[in-house]
């Protein structure tokens, strides 16, 4: 399945149905009077966050969404049928943005089952029965129904993960996520083997958390070098970052500083997130060299460094322990305020 993290779509709610103009006609009833019913309400545009989706690829092929309009009213005071709501299912973590220069954030779908009425359908028009008064006993006017709302919006996916992997290309991020999850990320002896974000579920010490692997960063990624920094948005929601540094790099301290500099240039608070620093690929080094490189990296990062080997599994449990500690013990709990919440109505006005 192809990965797509942004798409532009057009949405339009349903217009209200027209009211009816009708008069009662029955045998032996001399004065029937008006009995035209109201029109039905148009369908709403509803966004719903569902599990099992991690890409917006479906919106590349279907870009126009129109809810049905309400049916017209009828005689005998019959109200027209309302149009069915059009439910647009999106991955958890999808943001709905306005189609303007600032890309204003309109919705943020962060919870499974969250439903938001984005555009409300128009109300149905009044039938002539509702216009009857003591002085106007045979009204012929009726309502045509309220018009629909429409909008062009951007969908942007920011994957929800508890921990994010960062590092230079070929730092061993894909090997690490394959070691601790069933992600089956592509691994190769060349840079940029990862061209799209990967998600994996880690099960460690009777707990579970989600890890996100993004393509490697190089110096100048914020300015578009390499794959650029467009995928950094997928770790904005992470509680902790695991920074992997290749022990075979000529200067491990400089490798660390390059990635930290790109995180700072990107912004969005990534530089302030808790970080676990790991010296990767130590399986081919002796203890003396590992200690020297770890000390050099500790001086650059200002914190402890965990020597690991994603390929052999050495030190991986130690790194996972540190990630769990940073994620916290409240992971997976549902806030009381969120319980029982169903549909939320959003108004563009």
Consult the annotation and say whether 168 binds a ligand.
yes
Q: Is 214 annotated as a binding residue?
A: yes
What length is written for the chain? 349
Cβ atoms 81, 71 nearer than 8 A = yes
Residue 340 counted as an annotated binding residue: no
**CA separation for the pair 223, 234 (Å, rounded):** 18
Q: Is 344 annotated as a binding residue?
A: no
Q: 294: annotated binding-site residue?
A: no
Please tell me whether 281 is known to bind a ligand: yes
Q: Which residues of 228-256 are buried (b: 16+ CB within 10 A; e: fewer)?
A: bbebbbbbbbbbbbbbbbbbebeebbebb
Gap between the Cα atoms of 199 and 185, Å rounded: 9
Q: Answer yes or no: is 174 a known binding residue.
A: yes
Ligand-binding site membership of 342 (annotated): no
194's torsion region: left (phi>0), alpha (psi -120 to 50) or beta? beta
> Is 167 annotated as ligand-binding?
yes
- Reading the block at residue 7, the tokens are 């798409």
Helical packing angle, 252-266 and 287-301, nearest 10°: 30
Q: Which residue is it, tokens 């994996």? A: 200
DSSP letter for each residue of 183-229: ------SSTT---S-EEEEEEETTEEEEEEE-PPP-TTGGGT-TT-S
173 annotated ligand-binding residue: yes
- Is 258 labelled a binding residue? no
> Does 310 appear as a known binding residue?
yes
CB 149 within 8 A of CB 43: no
Is 309 labeled as ligand-binding?
yes
Do the beta carbons of residue 109 and residue 49 sit within 8 Å?
yes
Residue 216, annotated ligand binder? yes
**Sign of the C-alpha dihedral, residues 81, 82, 86, 92?**
negative
Which residues participate in the annotated binding site? 167-174, 194, 213-216, 280-283, 309-311
Residue ranges at the known binding site for GTP:
167-174, 213-216, 280-283, 309-311
Name the binding residues for Mg(2+). 174, 194
């Amino acid at each position: 399945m192809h990965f797509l993290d942004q798409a532009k779509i057009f949405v339009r709610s349903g217009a209200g149905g027209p009211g009816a103009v009708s008069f009662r006609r029955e045998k032996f009833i001399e004065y029937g009077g008006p009995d035209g019913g109201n029109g039905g309400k148009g369908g709403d545009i509803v966004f719903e966050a569902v599990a099992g989706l991690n890409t917006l690829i479906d919106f590349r092929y279907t870009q126009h969404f129109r809810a049905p309009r309400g049916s017209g009213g009828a005689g005998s005071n019959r109200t027209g049928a309302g149009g069915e709501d059009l439910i647009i299912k999106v991955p958890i973590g999808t943001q709905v943005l306005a189609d303007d220069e600032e890309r204003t954030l309109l919705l943020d779908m962060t919870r499974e089952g969250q439903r938001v009425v984005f555009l409300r359908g128009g109300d149905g028009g009044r039938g002539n029965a509702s216009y009857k008064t003591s002085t106007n006993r045979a009204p012929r006017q009726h309502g045509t129904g309220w018009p629909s709302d429409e909008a062009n919006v951007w969908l942007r996916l920011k994957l929800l993960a508890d921990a994010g992997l960062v590092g230079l290309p070929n730092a061993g991020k894909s090997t690490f996520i394959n070691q601790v999850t069933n992600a089956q990320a592509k691994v190769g002896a060349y840079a940029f083997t990862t061209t799209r974000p990967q998600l994996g579920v880690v099960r460690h010490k009777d707990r579970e958390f989600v890890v996100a692997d993004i393509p490697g960063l190089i110096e100048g990624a914020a300015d578009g070098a390499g794959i650029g920094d467009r995928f950094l948005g997928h770790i904005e929601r992470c509680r902790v970052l695991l920074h992997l540094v290749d022990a075979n790099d000529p200067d491990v301290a400089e490798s660390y500083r390059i990635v930290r500099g790109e995180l700072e240039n990107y912004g969005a608070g990534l530089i302030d997130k808790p970080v676990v620093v790991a010296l990767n690929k130590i399986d081919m080094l002796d203890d003396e060299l590992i200690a020297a490189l770890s000390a050099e990296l500790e001086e650059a990062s200002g914190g402890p460094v965990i020597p690991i080997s994603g390929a052999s599994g050495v030190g991986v449990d130690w790194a996972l322990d540190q990630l769990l500690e940073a994620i916290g013990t409240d992971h997976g709990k549902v806030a009381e305020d969120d319980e029982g919440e169903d549909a939320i109505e959003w108004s563009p006005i």
